[in-house]
Amino acid sequence: MQALNIGQAAEISGVSAKMIRHYESIGLIPAAQRTDAGYRLYSQGDIHTLQFIRNARDLGFSIAQIGTLLQLWGDHGRPSSEVKQLAMAHIHELEDKIRALQAMKGTLEQLASRCQGDERPDCPILNGLANPGIAACRASAVLA
């Protein structure tokens, strides 16, 4: 397969050209080969790596976690327990985020249920958002 330019790499991998350049700038992927004119060129291996990154991002892994996953992916002698440990830690992070989102949803549902949604200017939703206790209520629900 011939080398691809950044637009082609973006289209095939599902990662935007802007994000490909960003991943290169932060060292998540190695610097691309360059033509004499300075255009980036990507191999099939580079595309596979970009697809790996896209899939990891779709699962909510952070850039740092993806860096670790890429290292583990490249180390064929690593124990799978390291990969599972990272995945399990991410599952716990996702569970915390789910609880936080459920708490936010519950708070917003309570505020919306108090709103008549009519022509009157009184708005329990805006009043609730102006209440500093709303954030504390949501935080306590997350920690529970």
Do 57 and 107 reside in the same domain of the chain? no
Same domain, 28 and 43: yes
Stretch 14-29: mean pLDDT:
97
* Of residues 128 and 63, more confidently modeled: 63
Do 84 and 63 sit in the same domain of this protein? no
Show the tokens assigned to 39. 């255009």
What pLDDT digit, counting tens, does each position of 86-114 carry?
999 999 999 999 999 999 999 899 999 99
Cα 33 to Cα 7, 60, 100: the distances in Å are 14, 29, 43
What's the domain range around 126? Answer: 80-143
Identify the domain boundary among 30, 48, 74: 74
**Residue 44 above 80 pLDDT?**
yes
Give how many domains the chain has, as a whole number: 2
- What pTM was computed for the model? 0.80
Q: For residue 133, what pLDDT band results from cuts at 50, 70 and 90?
A: confident
> Is the pLDDT assigned to residue 77 strictly greater than 90?
yes
Q: What is the dihedral of CA 122, 124, 128, 129, to 10 degrees?
A: -70
